[in-house]
């Protein structure tokens, strides 16, 4: 069978943590089908590229994946992105001359280039959207619609978004909620949509990898630990999570809030002080990726509150699958991607419907009175939704359908 040449375009670096956890595993899985010759074109940040390129190169070579790197340009805003788009067009033109059967685009910037190729050369492409790009920038206060320039950029990307959905040969949505929203627009010639969430590294995030590190971390045997893992900022509602913890301390004076993050601890501690929470009940510690399962495993429950805005309909929190795969119950809020549906199947009582003290107290009364969701159900639900193996198989189905094998 003739080898099919596939180019994967990403504006995220493969040497970034996100690239290593959310891009590489999929492409390695897809490349196991020997009749695909995959070339990655990625935009790399200088520091990460220098630190990690040799490791990534060796991994890719062992799976017969070619890698073309372009330097990510950050400044000046807007013009830097236009320059990067020009570099990507130039690179893709060179690859086209050697033969090109499919372009797989991660997010919107790279899809701008693939759309042009589809219109000019009829090259099929996958729009792997990763979220509602323009709306995320408005909801995250990166773009202000009060600014004339950003309003124009927002409208441009919303217009292009419709074209991506109509001209692509397949659209990948992270969530059923995002897919439902898109279908409600009733676009003519809408491409097929497949849902593939952010999948979990099930080799790392499994119960057997949890070491007992409670005492090493400085916790007492009787401490009631709530953990939060990941970055703090834009989408993650630190104020509300601390309000929940403050309510918890009334019922459980031995409660501790464990932040597993590489972010600036001062930002968290300033919020803690403003809430008049005893600093001794807060622990903030960064972790290597290998130790994250053990750190999460030290907690009784894990928590995350995400801003429930329009763009988050298309969001799939990676941390949810990682935590659930360890069998740790999660306290989280509704209105984000498919979170409601996943919680309903595994631990519905822990879904916070609003950010009121009354709702916090409802959940706190449960977790402080020996409530324990079924660990087996939590892990099984995680596997059914976040399995990397299942995600790879879905991508292979899309490739097969487009390339007509």
Residue spans of the domains in the chain: they are: 4-196+388-403, 207-386
Structure tokens at 342: 């996943």
Q: Residue 5 — pLDDT band, cuts 50, 70, 90? A: very high
Return the CATH fold of 4-196+388-403. Answer: Rossmann fold (3.40.50)
Q: Residue 1 — pLDDT band, cuts 50, 70, 90? A: low
Structure tokens at 74: 């950050």
Strands 170-173 and 193-195, by their bridges, are parallel
Q: In what order do the strands lie in the sheet with 282-285?
A: 282-285, 255-260, 224-229, 301-304, 330-333, 351-352
The answer, yes or no, to whether residue 372 has pLDDT greater than 80, is: yes
Determine the Cα–Cα distance for residues 355 and 352; give it in Å rounded to an integer: 7
Q: Residue 195 — pLDDT band, cuts 50, 70, 90? A: very high
The answer, yes or no, to whether residue 356 has pLDDT greater than 90, is: yes
pLDDT of the residue at 35: 85
pTM of the model: 0.92
Determine the Cα–Cα distance for residues 276 and 274; give it in Å rounded to an integer: 5
pLDDT of the residue at 2: 81
Q: Residue 270 — pLDDT band, cuts 50, 70, 90? A: very high
Q: Please give the share of the chain, as a percent, with pLDDT higher than 90.
A: 91
| CATH, range 207-386 | 3.40.50.2000
What integer is the mean pLDDT of 145-154? 96
Per-chain mean pLDDT for the chain: 95
The answer, yes or no, to whether residue 383 has pLDDT greater than 80, is: yes
The answer, yes or no, to whether residue 133 has pLDDT greater than 90, is: yes
With the C-alpha atoms ordered 83, 85, 88, 90, is the resulting torsion angle positive or negative?
negative
Same fold across 4-196+388-403 and 207-386? yes
How many Cα atoms within 13 Å fall on the side-chain side of residue 328? 31
Give residue 246's Cα distance to chain centre.
Answer: 28
The answer, yes or no, to whether residue 20 has pLDDT greater than 90, is: no
What integer is the mean pLDDT of 3-22? 92
């Amino acid at each position: 069978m003739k080898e099919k040449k596939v180019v994967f375009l990403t504006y995220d670096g493969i040497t970034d943590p996100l690239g290593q956890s959310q891009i590489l595993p999929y492409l390695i899985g897809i490349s196991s089908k020997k009749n695909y010759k995959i070339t990655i074109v990625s935009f790399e940040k200088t520091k990460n590229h220098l630190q990690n390129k040799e490791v990534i190169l060796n991994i890719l070579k062992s799976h017969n994946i070619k890698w073309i790197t372009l330097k990510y340009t950050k400044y000046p805003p807007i013009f830097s992105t236009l320059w990067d788009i020009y570099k990507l067009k130039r690179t893709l033109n060179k690859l086209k001359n050697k033969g090109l059967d499919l372009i797989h685009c991660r997010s919107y910037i790279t899809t701008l280039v693939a759309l042009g190729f589809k219109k000019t050369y009829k090259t099929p492409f996958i729009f792997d959207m990763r979220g509602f790009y323009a709306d995320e920038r408005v909801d995250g206060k990166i773009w202000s619609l009060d600014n004339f320039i950003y309003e124009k950029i927002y409208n441009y990307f919303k217009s292009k978004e419709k074209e991506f959905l109509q001209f692509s040969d397949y659209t990948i949505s992270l969530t059923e909620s995002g897919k439902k929203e898109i279908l409600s627009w009733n676009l003519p010639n809408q491409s097929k949509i497949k849902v593939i969430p952010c999948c979990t590294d099930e080799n790392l995030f499994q119960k057997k990898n949890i070491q007992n590190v409670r005492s090493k971390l400085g916790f007492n045997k009787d401490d009631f630990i709530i953990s939060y893992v990941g970055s703090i900022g834009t989408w993650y509602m630190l104020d509300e999570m601390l309000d929940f913890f403050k309510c918890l301390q009334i019922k459980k004076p031995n409660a501790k809030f464990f932040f597993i993050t590489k972010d600036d601890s001062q930002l968290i501690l300033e919020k803690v002080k403003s809430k008049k929470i005893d600093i001794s009940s807060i622990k903030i510690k960064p972790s290597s990726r290998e130790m994250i399962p053990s750190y999460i495993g030290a907690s009784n429950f894990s928590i995350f509150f995400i801003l429930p805005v329009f763009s988050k309909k298309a969001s799939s929190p990676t941390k949810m699958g990682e935590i659930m795969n360890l069998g740790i119950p999660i306290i989280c809020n509704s209105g984000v991607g498919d979170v409601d549906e996943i919680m309903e199947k595994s631990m519905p009582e822990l879904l916070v419907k609003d950010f009121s003290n009354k709702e916090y107290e409802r959940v706190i009364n449960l977790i402080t009175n020996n409530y324990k969701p079924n660990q087996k159900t939590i892990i099984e639900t995680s596997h059914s939704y976040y399995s990397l193996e299942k995600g790879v198989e879905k991508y292979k189905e899309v490739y097969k359908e487009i390339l007509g094998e």
